[in-house]
Structure formats: C-alpha cells, structure tokens
C-alpha cells in the first residue's frame, strides 16, 4: 500500500475526495486520517471471495434473515483520527433496512468480517486490521490464507484458532447453527472436497 500525499481527512472528507472523477477506478483506504492506495485484488482472490460469499449466502437464506456486504465495502473502524477499511466480506445477522442502501460507509458493527490474504499483505498489516475490527466491536473475524488453505478465527480476548481443510468450522457462538468444512471454502463447484482424515 502506498500513502497518498493529502492533508489528514475525516471519513466524510475522504468520501468526497475518493469520489472525485480523477480518483475513479482507484482503490483507497483511510488509515489514521491518511489516504493509502491499495492495489486491486487478483482473479484468485476474487474467486475465493465468491466461494465464501456463496456459502454465507446459503447460510443467511436458510436462517431467513441477514445480509452480506462485499466488494471491499468501506467500514469506519476508528474515529479521531478516522480509519476506514475495505473489508472483503461483512455479514450482518439482522435484516437490511432502507438506510442501508444509502451511499455511505458502514458505521454499525457486522457480526462477521472475512478477509482473504493477498500476496502483498504483510503479517503486521493483517494483525493491525484484525485488531481494529475487534476493537470496533466485531465479534468474529475470519482471515483466510489461500496458499495454506487455512482459516484463522479471531475473537476479542481469545487465542486465535487456526483451522485447516480437515476441520469443521462453526460460528464460534456468533453465527447460530453455522457449520461447514473448511475445505468447502476452497472447493469449486463440480469438484469434490478433499476426503476427511480418518
């Protein structure tokens, strides 16, 4: 990520700045009031996000309530100075409201945030981002490593749990009745997930 030379901004000022015509088709985050440009995700990252979204869409459909935000939707995680992150996937267990369709950033708290690691993510960046989500009140954060086919689940005050493809994933007390194999997060339609270990 490259810092862009601008004065420090609030999330509201950043919204206006990022939507200027000269910034079209560029991706930014706001970190402690400073603008950082982020490279667009690559194809594998997008495909993995789709697999995750598909599983979570099935989950909220079965529940009969809830919704997802995708496509690096901006969420304000800190104020004064403001930090705005673009999360890969956010899941809310509540029903969407008309005001959710307004063109603004998320300020309420999702029940789950999912981040998929990219090749240019550094461990310190991910640790900082996860910490910001947890301090904002997000009860569950999943970080998915596409190289190792692992998922790390973070909850405030808890030791992170690492799951591999053989493990059964639950909602960690946050997502009622959620369950899938970690392998399902990496399995393309028409493919069989790896056999479970004996």
Is 32 inside a domain boundary? no
The confidence score (pLDDT) of residue 25 equals: 83
Residue 86 in any domain: the answer is: yes
Q: Is 53 helix (H, G, I), strand (E, B) or coil?
A: helix
Report helix, strand or coil for 113.
Answer: strand
Q: Is residue 33 part of a domain?
A: no
pLDDT of the residue at 40: 82
What is residue 162's predicted lDDT score, i.e. its pLDDT?
Answer: 97
Tens of pLDDT, residue by residue over 153-188, are 999 999 999 999 999 999 999 999 999 999 999 998
- What sign results for the dihedral spanned by CA atoms 177, 180, 182, 76? negative
- Residue 23: inside a domain, yes or no? no
Total domains in the fold of the chain: 1
Q: What is the CATH number of the domain that holds 147?
A: 3.90.1570.10
74-85 tens-digit pLDDT:
999 999 999 999
Paired with 78 in beta bridges are 83
What local confidence, expressed as pLDDT, does residue 150 receive?
A: 96
Specify if 47 maps to a domain.
yes
What tens digit of pLDDT does each residue of 2-49 get? 567 778 999 999 999 988 999 888 888 999 999 998 888 889 899 999
The domain containing residue 108 runs over which residues? 41-186
34-40, long-range: CB within 8 Å, 24+ apart, which pairs?
34/3, 34/4, 34/6, 34/8, 34/9, 34/81, 35/3, 35/4, 35/6, 35/9, 36/1, 36/2, 36/3, 36/4, 37/1, 37/2, 37/3, 37/4, 38/1, 38/86, 39/1, 39/118, 39/120
Among 89-103, 113-127, 143-157, the minimum mean pLDDT is found in 113-127
Note whether residue 22 is domain-resident: no
Q: Is residue 24 part of a domain?
A: no
Angle (nearest 5°) at CA 92 between 105 and 46? 70
Query: What are the phi and psi torsion angles at 144 (to 5°)?
Result: -105, 130
d(CA 145, CA 152): 8
pLDDT classification of 197: cutoffs 50, 70, 90? low
Residue 148: which of 119, 170, 176, 127 has the closest Cα? 119
In-domain check, residue 19: no
């Amino acid at each position: 990520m490259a810092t862009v030379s601008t004065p420090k901004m609030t999330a509201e000022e950043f919204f206006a700045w990022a939507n200027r015509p000269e910034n079209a088709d560029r991706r930014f985050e706001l970190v402690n009031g400073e603008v950082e440009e982020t490279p667009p995700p690559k194809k594998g990252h997008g495909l993995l996000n789709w697999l995750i979204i598909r599983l979570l869409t099935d989950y909220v459909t079965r529940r009969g309530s809830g919704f997802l935000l995708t496509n690096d939707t901006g969420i304000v995680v800190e104020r004064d100075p403001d930090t705005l992150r673009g999360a890969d996937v956010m899941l809310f267990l509540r029903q969407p409201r008309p005001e959710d369709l307004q063109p603004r950033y998320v300020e309420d708290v999702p029940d789950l945030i999912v981040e998929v690691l990219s090749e240019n993510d550094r461990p310190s960046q991910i640790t900082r981002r996860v910490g910001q989500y947890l301090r904002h009140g997000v009860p569950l954060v999943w970080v998915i490593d596409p190289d190792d086919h692992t998922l790390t689940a973070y909850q405030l005050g808890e030791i992170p749990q690492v799951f591999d493809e053989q493990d059964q994933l639950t909602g960690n007390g946050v997502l009622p009745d959620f369950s899938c194999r970690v392998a399902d997060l990496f399995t393309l339609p028409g493919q069989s997930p790896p056999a479970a270990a004996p």
